[in-house]
Chain A
Amino acid sequence: MHYHLTDLYRLQPSFLHRLDPRVKLLAAFGYILAVSLTPEGTWWAFAFFFLLLLLATFLTRLGIFFTIRRSFIVLPFVLAALAVPFTSPGQVIWRIPGLNWGVSEPGLIRFLSILARSWLAVQAAILLTAVTQFQDLLWALGSLRFPRVLVSTIGFMYRYLFVLADEATRMMRARASRSARVPGSRRRSLLWQGKAAGAMVGSLFLRAIERSERVYAAMLSRGYDGQMRSLTHFHMRAKDWISLVTVGLLLIVPLSVDWMV
């Protein structure tokens, strides 16, 4: 499974795009938390959360299937939970023909609940990234009292991510162009290949260190004093507060219904 190294922000004039990034961050995190807290087998609650997600996607005007299309990124990890239907004790409802492996009812419910939770959560994260510029997202993290040094470091990483990824790609292209193999010739040993890949990593490290020194010198010459300053600035407006409260109330609906019944 691979993914393309492209920024997933989608510029679009929409209500969600214009919201304060803190509201979007809190809403997405709250949504993931609420989904994670939903008890196993509460299918109506999962359906409710899915409808909320569809509503939010609709508001972005990116197309209703936007998040679903990218959500299959969690598929490989499903392998980790694949044993659950077979190993959870309970009433056996189906057996794999020939193998005599029984699928138990509680096991199946747990497995499907894990799938539902991760599928909904990853879509919320996709939506957050699609409607919030990464720098704004980091600003929101900093403003919500995340360690400032970490936030600045990630911001710095974001600036040079594509530069260094490009260098790595060029190195791999160079390796590919030099390692053509005549059909029938012997393959290079694992040790040799590992050494070659390691040398690429090593020289990439040297280039990164040298670049960081140049960048730091350039920053110093422009008056860097150890503080990262950002032009990004948001103020909570009335519609931001209303959105935050609305999302909060919607997210506790399933919990409160569960509590009242």
Chain B
Amino acid sequence: MLFSLNEMHIPDGFLSTPVAIVGWALAFVFISVAIRQTKNQLGDRQVPLMGILAAFIFAAQAINFPIAAGTSGHLLGGALAAILLGPWAATLIMTAVIAMQGLLFQDGGLLVMGWNIINMGVLTAFVGYATYSFVRRVTGDSTRSRLAAAFTGAWLSVEVAALATALQLAVSGTSPIQLGLPAMAGVHALIGVGEGLITVGALVLLQKASNGLLVEGENAPGRRSANIIAAGLLVALVVALFSPLASASPDGLEFVAEQNGFLDRALDPTYSILPDYTVPFIANPVLTTIVAVALGTLLVFVVAWFVGRNTTRSEAAGD
């Protein structure tokens, strides 16, 4: 059977050693908490349930459908697992999936596995879960609002994981952030749509098959801590994204610009929106991406809100 490689699995050699070790340290903290939390949640069932569901995520990642121009919609699964089982169980499941892909299939490196776990396990689970529960709270308690919330959570989880990956590559000096960030964000805005559609499709089926299952996931441990942790992770990510702009090192585009002689043009006042503002032109691709991702998130969120609100009202009216 053929399984497609995911472009978000960082191989060894692409991150610098200190960056890689920080990733492992972070991952260990999250894994330890996840093990304790799922033990409380599941007791003796912990190992067989988590193990088989990890195998499920691995297999589900192979189910795909064509989107456009050779890309296919497929699942990463962190957000779906978090919606169904809670963020801590999802973290543990995704860790097992990523460890298996790295150890058995060399999909993703061993030294850099810590970051792969953080990006595709922890970030997807917590961002997906926090977004899902937030949108649900705002849009009300209808079936369609749940689906809208799930789409928003799944889309954002992929986008955030991609941003984090681009950031780690940039900090390691592997890919300049001014190019890497917009590229990763752009590609994964599309891939995130596939993730969202599959997540919603799965929930549609599960809602019809057994509604109790979904309620169980919503009451999983880590409900309150999920929001705090997701917010903390997002703040850390944003701070980290802005910090390289303050440092002098990422001057790659400046170098390119200098060679091609458009640095003079770039510094021309007509090219800067706020002439007195100190953010240089070079920083703009990063800034633009962050603004674009924020706007995209807002857009998805507003659509989700409309879909959820309108159906809640019509259901309340006895529809």
Contact = CB atoms under 8 A, between A and B. Distances in A.
A203 B213 CA distance: 13
Nearest to B201: A198
Given A73-B106, A165-B1, A88 B200 contact: no
Contacts of A74: 11, 13
Contact of A29 (B14, B110, B254): B110
A156 to B, nearest CB: 2
Nearest to B20: A36
Contact of A87 (B10, B67, B107, B253): B253
Nearest to B179: A83
Interface stretch (B191-199, B271-279, B299-307, B309-317): B191-199
Main secondary structure of the interface of B (DSSP, over half): helix
Contacts of A104: 255
Contact of A114 (B4, B13, B64): B13
A241 interface: no
A158 B100 contact: yes
Contacts of A134: 103-104
Main secondary structure of the interface of A (DSSP, over half): helix
Task: Report the contact-size class of chain B (Cβ under 8 Å from the partner).
Answer: 35 or more
A150 B35 contact: yes
* Residue among B13, B97, B255 with max Cβ neighbours from chain A (10 Å): B13
Interface stretch (B46-54, B133-141, B227-235): B46-54
Interface residues of A, number: 97
Interface stretch (B123-131, B203-211, B289-297): B203-211
A198 B53 CA distance: 16
Contacts of B201: 194-202
Given A118-B14, A157-B51, A205 B202 contact: yes
A179 to B, nearest CB: 10
19 contacts: A2-B2, A32-B110, A70-B106, A74-B11, A76-B5, A84-B176, A86-B252, A88-B255, A118-B14, A157-B51, A161-B59, A164-B55, A169-B62, A190-B193, A194-B194, A201-B75, A204-B56, A208-B52, A225-B44
